[in-house]
Chain A
Amino acid sequence: DSGVTQTPKHLITATGQRVTLRCSPRSGDLSVYWYQQSLDQGLQFLIQYYNGEERAKGNILERFSAQQFPDLHSELNLSSLELGDSALYFCASSPGGEGRNGYTFGSGTRLTVV
């Protein structure tokens, strides 16, 4: 157990639907990162939050949004889902100042859009 908890582990949904992925960071970590891993694009950074505030955005679609709550857990909302959104979505956390063991990953949520 890495200390980063992602739920659900698997999600199957239809095109056009909306889903929410949840991440609880490792205890004490203030930063949360979301990554998308797909077969054609590899691992892509989506968004970073630090202590409740958005810190950086990557290749995140407008149909996707995220937030980090006061208890530091984070949610990634994916709407108007398309087949191409099928991927493994990772959450990672870090204390803030990244160093040698700076990023701890959750086990991922595998999203399948049918």
Chain B
Amino acid sequence: AQKITQTQPGMFVQEKEAVTLDCTYDTSDPSYGLFWYKQPSSGEMIFLIYQGSYDQQNATEGRYSLNFQKARKSANLVISASQLGDSAMYFCAMREDNAGNNRKLIWGLGTSLAVNP
């Protein structure tokens, strides 16, 4: 069954350092998409980055990059040069492309990131 695993409930990082948030997934669908979202304490869900299963290059969006290792079924988020405003919950999510009409996202339990000054 499809599943997303985020093994780090909480992480700490010093301001200006890089941090990697882990995500592994399980699916039998050859076509899928992987997403990372940020949820600050205010509650909104903010899209960060997307990786398609057939994308040849790892996705990058500004300070965010996705370390996609397809054979290992991992899609780790790397945040470079951490800022205090990066303190938030981070969710990894997956969409399977051959699930008929259903385009729902399957979510991990999240990682709470705290950036220390």
Contact = CB atoms under 8 A, between A and B. Distances in A.
Interface of A: 2, 31, 33, 35, 42-45, 48, 50, 55-56, 58, 88, 90, 92, 94, 98-108, 110
A58 B102 CA distance: 9
Among A45, A55, A92, A103, find the residue whose CB has the most chain B CB atoms closer than 10 A: A103
A99 B53 CA distance: 11
A108 B44 contact: yes
Contact of B101 (A42, A56, A104): A56
Given A48-B102, A55-B101, A98-B33, A105 B44 contact: yes
Contact of B47 (A35, A42, A55, A104): A104
Shortest 7 CB-CB distances between A and B: which pairs?
A56-B102, A105-B45, A43-B107, A45-B104, A107-B44, A100-B50, A55-B101
